[in-house]
A and B are shown apart, each in its own frame.
Chain A
Amino acid sequence: MPKRTDIHKILIIGSGPIVIGQACEFDYSGTQACKALREEGFEVVLVNSNPATIMTDPEFANRTYIEPITPEAIEKIIERARPAAPLPPLGGQTGLNVSMELWKRGVLDKYGVEMIGAKAEAIAKGEDRDLFKKAMQRIGLDVPISGIAHNLDEARAVARDIGRLPLIIRPAYTLGGTGGGIAYNREEFDAMAARGIELSPISEVLIEESLVGWKEFEMEVMRDRMDNCVVICSIENFDPMGVHTGDSITVAPIQTLTDKEYQVMRDASFACIREIGVETGGSNIQFAVNPDNGRMTIIEMNPRVSRSSALASKATGFPIAKIAAKLAVGYTLDEIPNDITKSTPASFEPTIDYVVVKIPRFTFEKFPKADATLTTQMKSVGEAMAIGRTFKESLQKALRSLEISRFGLGGDGKAVRIDGQLIQDDEILPVETITKKLVTPNADRIFFLRHAMRAGMTIDQIFDLTKIDRWFLHHMKEIVDFEAELAKAKTLDGRLLAAKQMGFSDRQLANLTGSTEDEVRATRKKAGIVPTYRLVDTCAAEFEAYTPYYYSTYGDEDETRQNDKRKVMILGGGPNRIGQGIEFDYCCVHAAFALKELGFETIMVNSNPETVSTDYDTSDKLYFEPLTLEDVLNIYEREQCWGAIAQFGGQTPLNLALGLQKHGVNIIGTSPQNIEIAEDRKFFAAMLDKLKIPQPPNGLATNEDEAVAAAAKLGYPVLVRPSFVLGGRAMQIVYNEEDLRHYMRFAVEASHRRPVLVDKFLDDAIEVDVDCIADVGLPNGGNVVIGGILEHIEFAGVHSGDAAMVLPAHTLSKKVLQTIRDYTDAMARELKVIGLMNVQYAVKDNIVYVLEVNPRASRTVPFVSKAIGAPLAKLASKVMTGKTLKELKFTKEITPKYYSVKESVFPFNRFFGVDIILGPEMKSTGEVMGIDADLGVAYAKSQMAAQPPLPTSGNVFISVRDSDKNAVLPAARLLGDLGFNLFATEGTAKALAAAGVPVTALFKLTEGRPNVLDMLKNGEIALVINTPSGDKAPRADEIRIRTAAVQCRVPIMTTLTSAVAAVQGIAALKKHGVTVCSLQEYHAR
């Protein structure tokens, strides 16, 4: 039966900012849905607060709302745009939750809007732990045995019923699950149960059998309205139960189940999706299997498109989100053709003839105080996926895709620092050290498995410690043994092909046999051992495939199709991590679109399964491959590309640019040498001297004393950082000699080769980001056009990736703005920029200083593009292929008549106890955008989108450092005028009272109770303004207040400027209220 004709307009709700657990996979699914629905002639209304998404590009929807994903804002959108149906299962948890909230509030009924895909009742049943469990029991599926207790006797009775330890104790309604845990013995159980009951506000604990160590599996299933069900992909977790699946290494398809067991799991998956009542679309269903007897229990289901379904789509070539969108509007699976084969329908189950490995990417180095063990709460920020013909090949490819400078499982010569100890790659570690790293799951466990094998531990010993299936361990053992063999033989003779088929990189082979990567490469090519590229075709070659989606392996036959088009390779950004996120993928996708328009054949290379760039629809050819010199060169040579773009994918491809160029790759756009000039301290200083552009005074230090001497000369505070760092890694502002000495001793390793940079820190300077586009490096070019001048809300010292920004600049004078324009123009010309350039400035006392220049795509490009309504990345790609800005008709800076505010979103709620103070080291995972004609409202919208929103009434707690006590007065007074009640600690309270601002003084945490913590926990505080006490390490009680605010989801401002912006935002909210407006309307203004 064909599509529905009774609905015409569909609302797609995005997933908002990138946070841990919800990354760009929902941009991928939402973008696919937009395309699929518009292809079918539906009007699409889209809402998402995240400007770095492709789906919020104005051409992807009929109406694009960059507005907060809150029930209030979406109700206003529904009121204005009147869509007939929202499609909740595509926007991740955020989209699902807000749809449910709209349903509960009766908004959907009020506007006659019908949920399609999954009905509210089904979502509720799938999402609610208890309802889900009962539903599964009703259909006879096994669930973990559990019981509820309200006192110790009841708890003991439940434990007796379950009959074995360990047991999991979960107190009801405690924040972040506090008070829960796993009890391994009876004594521990009694203690934990008693504590759990005490901590639970309703004196209730759930006691559940522990499945820790069981095998974990996932099924990605789809259903249409004729009740046809199919499995798209099965996934086996390398890490057994106990580690969140997002933090687990996972493998597709399932490896260690017989057909009998697999089919039972398939039946159970369908029974589950039917019982929950997901009418159409995809679901992810998770199972645990007891490795000793095969008992299968169902763990959970997600009645929506998820991270796993993005992975499943990339792993099989089956576009789940696109098909889900078509199913939602009435099609059945057999009515939709399989894009890949063209001749067969989508009503089948993909079968694959390769192995897919996904490995999560962690950034614990950014949060040294966070608990780095892996648990049931997700902590990874991204993931890399690799495809190979065997598990071994795929595993090593995935490991070198992670961007942690590893080139495989081991043997790459990389020394790593773990728990403060430097471990050499070829070291044999003591068994005690290894055991510790095996028993408790952690990000490095995969490498310690290798160490365990090298130290002579047996597979069974390792299994007992980790419960990782022996199948995986045996394969790893083969890699480790082969590595040892190579290291002993010191030659590749007779082993080269076997090594490549096991996934060894040239780098590993070079290190193991004492040669260089270039030599291995040359030997390999001479022997004719080059990768063959294979198609991802959903059908294991049973049918001819038309979709150009490739992976490499060392096989007999290459499947790439050649033509005479000019080919441009676009290097993607690899796995998401802090500092390298969706913004760069956005730029890569734009490059693909733009170059396609110009008639080039576009070749995308990337290893991140969550992205739009790795959708096989985005570019002409997709290579799902690691972004290393070896892998990229292989593709470049195979495809005989005309050029490659390295400046869009962030740091990952940039690091490859010079090496690629050395090997004959034509890096188009600004030359890698000029990019280096901007990054090299000396060359850069020379350039600024020549152009007479000021830079904060600075020096270099190769040891502690030199650093102290340099700082003394410059005067404190100073900004210190190691050379060659990304995302502000180990960058710090230091206020005195003592702290500087500490930093030099413990935070960095300085040497002559890698000196530490010491800059005078410009206190209270206004920071400015500029994105521009230039064609001045082209022979016939000559324009430098400002894309946007973004003024930071926080003062200098906060990493630009973390700062809130306003476009157009709201406080800078015309003269300062002109200076900024002039400097930008001069530098772009000097660096012969072809494409994008980002500059960071600091403005103090009307003097403009240059902090940093990056002649490449920056994190703010998507935000600026949406704010000004011009696609900077697309334009830049065209410039890089030789088009001038004049030809492209982009020669004038656009100054919008409305304000756009970018705000950052942080993962602090995942890392409780970590201080939330911002600094030069980037910590945010994502961003949101607030747009409004009024600056205050735009700021307030950005806070609503970033969550928690600003309050419009209630109590405000203020505690600021001495130097802020005067400056905070106007904001405090305004808050009082707006009807807020002010509370403060003694010092701040005195200052406020002295200025005539009514305030209630509170005890300090150490003085007595009730204090602010009690009030926060009781929900009595609506806003916290707390600036850190300043030049010393933050005090412990301050950190407690700040983390409590995060836990209690109370907005907290930690800089005075953001506090002022917040208060103005609140005032504007109260005055104007919130209205919604589409991007298309803004751009038409």
Chain B
Amino acid sequence: MDAVLALEDGLVFRGQGFGACTSACGEAVFNTSMTGYQEILTDPSYKGQIVAMTYPEIGNYGINTLDVESWQPHVAGFVIRQLSPVASNWRSEFTLDAYLKKYNLPGIQGVDTRRLTKHLRTRGAMKAFISTEPVSDADATKRARDWKGIVGVDYVVEVTHKKAFHWEGYGQWSANWDIPRGATLDEARVAKGETGQFQGMFDALPTPGYRIVAFDYGIKYNILRRLRQRGFDTHVLPATATAKEAMALKPDGVFLSNGPGDPEALPYAHRAVRDLLGEVPIFGICLGHQILGHAFGGRTFKLKFGHRGANQPVKELRTGKVLITSQNHGFAVDAKSLNTDEVEVTQINLNDQTVEGMRHKKHPVFSVQYHPEASPGPHDAGYLFDEFKRLIEDYRRKK
């Protein structure tokens, strides 16, 4: 199966197709994580994007049903150097090829992804077209140019759950993917519920405590898993929910999720969040952080080629600690647009000094641009979910 990837500036890559026989437009971006292609495929934040992996060997460990970040893959297309001839892992259930076929997504392999990456790095992320169907270079390029693009478009409506729901997870146990902890190994084993095939993988869940509302702009399952593992009782509302609808659930806190596309194109979300400021403790991640930026009266801007990877160094300005974080964003909050009397930049990216975290000086509100839930990526920032809990506790005490 011949395949093509065309960029709007006329650069065309030919390769071999995998996955479904189909075509799609999207913004071409690259991700530098060496592991985690399954999580990347299923992360709703990649809606509208054709993702290229910089690591050349992809598909090695196949796909399993546990490591998904949503109900289906969301990327528009997938670009890799080489597809693994085998899925080799004890948890693998499908091959990557079969998975993309199942969801009718096009994949292209045999692409010199390093050249593509350098191109996107120097020229910026751009509109692209991917196809595993017969198409000429010229047509492919035209399809890329004609696509509506990312800027100013609301992609959240395409991935948010249309109805509110309560996150139940998987019952009493949840895969924490933490190292076993306990005074002794035996204790740790018991705590891990060592049973059956997935021994040592699941942890018992605590009884649900604080009730929170999560705005779903394209929320990743692992955020919901992490919240539940920390004892939050999470009610998920559609992205378009209002502050009133949220407060009607009498939440102890509000969580703003990640999501795809341009944060500026979401006026309804800016409004809802602005209305919630001061009413309830708020924690925002990624798009949720950018929406907060707007709610604070600030602006966002498009990064040249974004941050997508699992090795981004972030410095906590207060402690001086450096966290290695998982990131996936093409836009960022403009530090200069923030009112420093009200908002404090708490964390910055050490590669390009962009804003990675904010805190409101008066209201119990904080946010981070990156993904403390990881998945894929390092767990360094996982403690932020505990911070959220502490924020709620403090708020309740003061009230």
Contact = CB atoms under 8 A, between A and B. Distances in A.
B121 interface: yes
B350 A259 contact: no
Interface in B364-389: 374-379
B312 interface: yes
List 5 A-B pairs, minimum CB-CB distance, nearest first: A259-B36, A259-B376, A540-B54, A471-B88, A140-B188
Interface in B196-214: 197-201
Given A540-B32, A542-B309, A353 B113 contact: yes
A288 B311 CA distance: 24
Interface string A553-581: 00111000000000000000000000000
Nearest to A136: B185
Interface string A377-400: 000000000000111000000000
A556 B112 contact: yes
A171 B57 CA distance: 44
15 contacts: A143-B185, A253-B34, A255-B57, A260-B175, A266-B379, A293-B198, A296-B200, A334-B313, A348-B311, A348-B350, A351-B32, A353-B56, A390-B57, A555-B112, A557-B118
A555 B321 contact: no
B90 A291 contact: yes
B121 A264 contact: no
A141 B112 CA distance: 41
A149 to B, nearest CB: 20
A263 B377 contact: yes
B194 to A, nearest CB: 9
A540 B33 CA distance: 9
A541 B118 contact: yes
Given A253-B34, A351-B55, A351-B311, A264 B322 contact: no
A139 B81 CA distance: 40
A353 B179 contact: no
Interface string A279-298: 00000000000011111100
A228 B322 contact: yes
B54 to A, nearest CB: 4
B324 interface: yes
A142 B86 CA distance: 29
B396 interface: no
A347 B350 contact: yes
Interface stretch (B18-26, B60-68, B232-240): B60-68
Contacts of A543: 121, 351
Contacts of B149: none
Interface string B312-351: 1101000011101000000000000000000000000011
Nearest to B13: A556
Nearest to B86: A474
A354 B86 CA distance: 19
B181 interface: yes
Contacts of B115: 555-557
A355 interface: yes
B67 A260 contact: yes
A879 interface: no
Contact residues on A (Cβ < 8 Å of other chain), bracket: 35 or more
Contacts of A257: 35, 61, 89
Nearest to B186: A137
A188 interface: no
B367 to A, nearest CB: 22
B34 A345 contact: no
A932 interface: no
B57 A267 contact: no
Nearest to A544: B121
Given A226-B320, A267-B179, A355 B56 contact: yes
B180 interface: yes
A142 B377 CA distance: 22
Given A137-B184, A390-B56, A345 B67 contact: no
B143 to A, nearest CB: 22
Given A264-B178, A267-B179, A540-B114, 16 more contacts: A142-B200, A256-B61, A258-B67, A259-B36, A259-B67, A259-B377, A261-B89, A262-B35, A263-B177, A293-B90, A345-B350, A345-B351, A351-B54, A351-B309, A390-B82, A542-B54
Contacts of A391: 57
A260 B177 contact: yes
Contacts of A148: none
Contacts of A390: 56-57, 81-82
B89 to A, nearest CB: 6
B61 A140 contact: no
Interface string B106-131: 00000011110110010000000000
Interface in A468-490: 469-471, 474-475, 477-478
A865 B39 CA distance: 58
Interface of A: 137-143, 226-228, 230, 234, 253-264, 266-268, 271, 291-296, 332-334, 343-345, 347-355, 389-391, 459, 469-471, 474-475, 477-478, 534, 539-544, 555-557
B38 interface: yes
Given A143-B185, A259-B36, A541-B117, A228 B179 contact: no
A345 to B, nearest CB: 5
A264 B177 CA distance: 6
B278 interface: no
Contact of B56 (A261, A354, A470): A354
Nearest to B112: A556
Contacts of A351: 32-34, 54-55, 309-311
B55 A353 contact: yes
Contacts of B32: 351, 353, 539-540, 542
Given A228-B321, A264-B178, A292 B54 contact: no
A268 to B, nearest CB: 5
Contacts of B354: none
Contact of A258 (B89, B179, B199, B374): B89
B104 interface: no
B113 A333 contact: no
Contact of A389 (B64, B81, B377): B81
Contacts of B33: 259, 351
B182 interface: yes
Nearest to A266: B378
Given A140-B182, A142-B185, A256-B61, A347 B113 contact: no
A476 to B, nearest CB: 10
B54 A353 contact: yes
Contacts of A226: 320-322
A1035 B35 CA distance: 59
B10 interface: no
Nearest to A475: B85
B91 interface: yes
Which of B38, B61, B181 gathers the greatest number of chain A CB atoms within 10 Å? B61
B321 A267 contact: no
A355 B57 contact: yes
Contacts of A534: 114
B84 interface: yes
A234 B55 CA distance: 14
Given A293-B90, A391-B57, A259 B180 contact: no
B137 to A, nearest CB: 15
A295 B183 CA distance: 19
A227 B117 contact: no
Contacts of A334: 313, 315, 322, 350
